[in-house]
């Protein structure tokens, strides 16, 4: 299904293929030879844009998102695995993001990186070319430190200064009620979907 959002509809190269039950929302561009498999969601919110280059594979139930604050780009010959989540990141050529992995806002994955099953690349993290984040591990920081999930205190020490609520939502973590500020802001931003319309599907 192709949906016009914020006045912009997806564009798909004639040599690309999008499964009938996948959804592309808003300012999304799909390159030649790219395949968007069943159940995938490629959503550009509120003025954000997504560019997926040539010969990429976005597998079943993967989610690729952009926001007004964070565009998302995926370069050539990348594979985004089933159930993976890539939001507001820059992904260079020949990157593999495995099943259930997550890549967050402002992350930069350089050429040939691998983010293995259920691994995480935190916001504002830069993975050098050829880096691997092992199964279930966490990459955080610029340059990235790659840590096992049982080292939470070390992960948090690197993650906290990256300021997830401020960077992603523009909300001060120490505001009187940060969750109300986050959800209120999201509610206002997502109200823009009231004008969306299906353009193909």
CATH code of the domain containing 98 = 2.160.10.10
Residues of the chain with pLDDT under 70: 201
pLDDT for res 201: 67
Q: Domain range for residue 169? A: 2-200
pLDDT for res 73: 98
Alpha carbons 1 and 7: distance in angstroms, whole number: 16
In the chain, how many domains are there? 1
Alpha carbons 31 and 37: distance in angstroms, whole number: 14
Q: List the one residue out of 51, 100, 105 whose CA is nearest residue 78.
A: 51
pLDDT for res 189: 82
């Amino acid at each position: 299904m192709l949906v016009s959002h914020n006045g912009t509809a997806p564009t798909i190269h004639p040599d690309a293929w999008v499964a009938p039950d996948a959804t592309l929302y808003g300012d999304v561009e799909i390159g030649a030879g790219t395949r968007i498999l069943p159940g995938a969601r490629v959503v550009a919110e509120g003025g954000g844009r997504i560019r997926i280059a040539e010969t990429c594979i976005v597998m079943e139930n993967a989610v690729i998102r952009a926001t007004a604050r964070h565009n998302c780009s995926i370069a050539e010959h990348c594979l985004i695995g089933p159930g993976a989540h890539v939001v507001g990141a820059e992904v260079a050529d020949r990157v593999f993001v495995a099943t259930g992995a997550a890549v967050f806002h402002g992350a930069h994955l350089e050429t040939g990186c691998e983010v293995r099953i259920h691994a995480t690349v935190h916001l504002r993290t830069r993975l050098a070319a050829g880096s691997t984040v092992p199964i279930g591990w966490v990459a955080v920081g610029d340059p990235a430190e790659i840590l096992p999930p049982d080292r939470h205190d070390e992960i948090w020490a690197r993650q906290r200064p990256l300021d997830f609520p401020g960077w992603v939502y523009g909300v001060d973590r120490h505001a009187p009620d940060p969750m109300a500020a986050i959800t209120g802001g999201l509610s206002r931003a997502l109200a823009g979907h009231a004008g969306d319309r299906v353009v193909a599907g």
